[in-house]
């Protein structure tokens, strides 16, 4: 990815950036904090569509 672009995650249906994805977190004993573990995740949701969705990655200019 070039320095003049940013990656965004959007709803494949409506293009909204108001998306959420589920994730697994594991406790790190050495770091004493929760850390997200891997992906891709199983469930994504779009607030604008108000339903489950597929998330797409897009590159956009800064």
Instruction: Round to whole Å and give the CA distance between 45 and 39.
Output: 16
* The pLDDT value given to residue 57: 93
What is the percent of the chain with per-residue pLDDT over 70, rounded to a whole number? Answer: 92
List residues bridging with 46 in a β-sheet: 19, 51
Q: Give the count of domains, the chain.
A: 1
Strands 44-46 and 19-21: antiparallel
Instruction: Round to whole Å and give the CA distance between 15 and 18.
Output: 9
Expressed as residue numbers, the domain containing 30 is 5-61
Residue 4 · residue 23 · CB < 8 Å: no
| pTM, to two decimals | 0.72
């Amino acid at each position: 990815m070039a320095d003049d672009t940013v990656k965004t995650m959007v709803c494949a249906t409506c293009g909204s950036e108001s998306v959420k994805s589920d994730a697994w977190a594991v406790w790190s004993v050495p770091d004493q904090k929760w850390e997200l573990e891997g992906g891709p995740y199983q469930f994504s949701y779009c607030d604008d569509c108000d339903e489950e969705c597929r998330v797409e990655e897009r590159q956009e200019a800064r």
